[in-house]
Amino acid sequence: MSLPTLNQYHKKPYQAINPALPALQQTGRTVIVTGGNSGIGYAIARSFVKANAARIIILGRRKDVVASAAAKLQEEGRRFGSRTDVQGRTCDISDLTSTEHLWKALESENIFVDVLVLNAASYGAIETILDGGLSKVWGDFESNVRSTLDMTERIYKQKTTGPNQTKYLVNISTCAAYMWSTMGPDRPTYGLTKSASTLLLQQIARDTKPTDMQIVSFHPGGVLTDSAKRVGGDNLKGVIFDDDKNFQNS
């Protein structure tokens, strides 16, 4: 990542955000991480394990991949000395039927979700908006914007009660939301929809008492994850990516 106006760059997690700090402990909380089976999502889930959350639920579309990631994270947790229960559940957040099934299952199991991390996203296609056409472009809005509203509404309106009624929503944004000409310039719907979803949550945060639900959006920098490589991220010129190995060891 390279921005000329910044004087300090963090390439690795620093002490103030160390999940092992007493002030950052997540004891007793249930956390959902969308797209938690790899890359940034997996690193975030691992940090919640280090912070001793009661339960981590990582979501993904492929059952075998999610199950494998959950088992790996559970084993890592044991090595950390954490008692966090790690679960992997199949859910396509762009599919309303799939998310309905997930939240009904959580309700039937009397699981109150304290923290929702919105990490999963669609990169969109390599084509202009008009060449892609309404159906494809709107499909990307459903994947990255409608899903944000859907999951946000579901955590906010969940019927299950917990000891702490405040909910917390963490939105993983992207520098592509404002660096359109640099980050994925050939995938115009990615920056467009990620910008829209972040602004959507900004408006919801404005309308919502933080004691009811606190919303935080941040982008983690330019991280060259496997998914970023698959869509050509390592071919972007003039972009200095962070290596996701720093996240793997965080």
Domain-wise residue ranges, the chain: 16-248
Rounded Cα distance, 111 and 80, in Å: 25
Residue 215: both structure tokens together? 């919303």
For residue 242, the model assigns a pLDDT of 57
Q: Is 239 helix (H, G, I), strand (E, B) or coil?
A: coil
Per DSSP, 115 falls in state E
- Burial environment of residue 39 by CB neighbours within 10 A (0 to 12, 13 to 18, 19 or more): buried
Nearest to 100 by CA among 47, 140, 157: 157
Residue 63: both structure tokens together? 């059952």
To the question of domain 16-248 being in CATH 3.40.50.720, the answer is: yes
For residue 116, the model assigns a pLDDT of 99
For residue 164, the model assigns a pLDDT of 78
Rounded Cα distance, 38 and 43, in Å: 8
Using H for helix, E for strand and C for coil, what is the string for 150-172? HHHHHHHCCCCCCCCCCEEEEEE
Residues of the chain with pLDDT under 70: 1-6, 9-11, 175-185, 221-250
